[in-house]
Structure 1
Amino acid sequence: MNTVDLDEFVVRRASESDADALVGIDMVAVEGDDGRQVNIRRWCRQGLALVAEDASGLLGYCVVEYTFFEQGFVTMLMVAPSARGRGVGHRLLDAAATSCMTPKLFTSTNVSNQPMQRLLQRAGWSPVGLLHGLDEGDPELFYLRRWQTTATDPVT
């Protein structure tokens, strides 16, 4: 009998055909946030999303955009609740950094989001600033991951 290592998964660039499955694993989109669903479809159509998948299907996704002072910015990192704790988020962040087209890659998270802060620290990101006023009473922490050279997009 063949066994499957539950930690085996691949990261690849999302296609338009992945959009419905990504909506299905994104808890905000599942709860009916039309804006999130529209964004997921746009990110897939524009080739901005990376997905992690295994034999069971999509496990999570990550989006890198270049509208933050013309630097890379991880706009979204989402891992399906059933896939958390398997290294999916870490691998997606590594793939985002590797495929980033600028020498600096930023992201942010709320002060209240302790799991994301721990993940970013484990993945080699450095805190670089704090912004008040986006979410009342929950400041936004910004993080940076530096790369010496720009990528050639090894993610397929």
Structure 2
Amino acid sequence: MEIQNARETDFYKIIELDKKMIGSDHRKEEIVQAIKEERCLIMYQEDKIAAFLIYHTHFFDCCFISLIMVDPAHQRKGLASSLLAHMSKISPTNKLFSSTNESNESMKKTFIKNQFKKSGFVDNLDEGDPEIIYFKECY
């Protein structure tokens, strides 16, 4: 599967996947803005979005992957790793960060597999489930 920048025509398919995963479309504005600013990467499987990633550079002027979504039908096939590897190559800053909940064992393993290191944590976002920050140096 090829990784490409999302286009405006991909918006509804991205929202469909996001809503499927979280049960809400409350991130519509964030997603449309990321598409407009070319900060949303997608992977297609046939005519459906199999995975997408959104990033920004508002995390202490460093690149931060704020969202990675993989359709359940395509999980455990390396799509998140492919997106992380691609982001490591195209990151607009030398420092790349992301995060996941402490309870998300799958994503924690994916970060470690892709040479991200734990960089800290944030309490009080999700009750009883700290957010772990991950870091990778990009060249």
Range class of TM-score, shorter chain: over 0.9
Distance 2:54 2:111 in 1: 15
Q: Hey, what does 1:3 align to over in structure 2?
A: none
Matched, 1:115 2:106: yes
Q: Hey, what does 1:13 align to over in structure 2?
A: 5
Q: Please report how far the alpha carbon of residue 139 of structure 1 lies from its aligned counterpart in structure 2 after TM superposition.
A: 0.8
Q: Hey, what does 1:154 align to over in structure 2?
A: none
Q: Hey, what does 1:97 align to over in structure 2?
A: 88
Q: Hey, what does 2:121 align to over in structure 1?
A: 130
Superposed CA offset, 1:44-71 (max 9, x none): 1221100011334321101110000000
Paired residues of 2:102 and 2:130 also in contact (CA < 8 A): yes
Matched, 1:49 2:53: no
- TM-score w.r.t. length of structure 1: 0.83
Paired residues of 1:59 and 1:80 also in contact (CA < 8 A): yes
Distance 2:108 2:71 in 1: 18
Consecutive unaligned residues of structure 1, counting only runs of 5 or more, are 1-8, 149-156
Paired residues of 1:49 and 1:61 also in contact (CA < 8 A): yes
Larger radius of gyration: 1
Matched positions, count: 139
Q: Hey, what does 1:4 align to over in structure 2?
A: none
Matched, 1:86 2:85: no
Q: Please report how far the alpha carbon of residue 126 of structure 1 lies from its aligned counterpart in structure 2 after TM superposition.
A: 0.6
Matched, 1:64 2:39: no
Q: State the superposition RMSD in angstroms.
A: 1.5
Distance 1:27 1:79 in 2: 12
Q: Please report how far the alpha carbon of residue 17 of structure 1 lies from its aligned counterpart in structure 2 after TM superposition.
A: 1.1
Moved more, 22-31 or 66-75: 22-31
Q: Which amino acid aligns with 1:106?
A: F
Q: Please report how far the alpha carbon of residue 30 of structure 1 lies from its aligned counterpart in structure 2 after TM superposition.
A: 6.5
Q: Please report how far the alpha carbon of residue 28 of structure 1 lies from its aligned counterpart in structure 2 after TM superposition.
A: 5.8
- TM-score w.r.t. length of structure 2: 0.92
